[in-house]
Amino acid sequence: MPTGSVTFLAGETQKTVTIAVQSDQVVEEDETFTVTLTGASDHGTIVTSTAVGTIINDDSRYDVVPTATSLAEGDSGSTVYELTIYRTGATADAATLDWSVSGGTADATDFTGGALPSGQGDFCRRTVRGDDPNSRRRR
Ligand SMILES: [Ca+2]
Ligand SMILES: [Ca+2]
């Protein structure tokens, strides 16, 4: 942890302490630190001895709700499944996430267009192919 000393020359009444905080790209809680004054060389009394600083996290975190909506696929057409993605931490700037679907027990034939979906930005609307045998034949 940082330490240092401050020297007041004769007649000086104010000095500034500078403390360098390491930046990062880690999502974390805001963090506090305390600066404590000790050991005045002129035997002066340190009346207010501590100051608290707060390091504010400015990194954002993303979480997808881990269980997607469960819906019947339907017998024709398509059904819209939705996922919710949350962003916390720093949200002042716009951001884009990529997403893609990989097979669990579903495969590409279970999605409209016959491919595993992927995309950017539109996190909330994907369609699943209905299980109408006629619609499969039309592919
Ligand atoms: Ca940061
Ligand atoms: Ca951080």
Q: How far is the CA of 55 from the centre of ligand 1 (A)?
A: 10
Q: Which ligand is nearest to the CA of 28?
A: 2
Query: What string of pLDDT tens digits covers the 139 residues of the chain?
Result: 999 999 999 999 999 999 999 999 998 889 999 999 999 999 999 999 999 999 998 898 888 887 767 888 889 888 888 888 888 888 788 888 888 888 788 888 888 888 888 877 643 334 445 544 444 443 3
If DSSP states are collapsed to H, E and C, what string results for 75-121? CCCEEEECCCEEEEECCCCCCCCEEECCCCCCCHHHEHHHCCCEEEC
Q: How far is the CA of 92 from the centre of ligand 2 (A)?
A: 14
Residues whose Cβ atom is located within 5 A of ion ligand 1: 58-59
CB distance 49 to 107 below 8 Å: no
Q: pTM above 0.75?
A: no
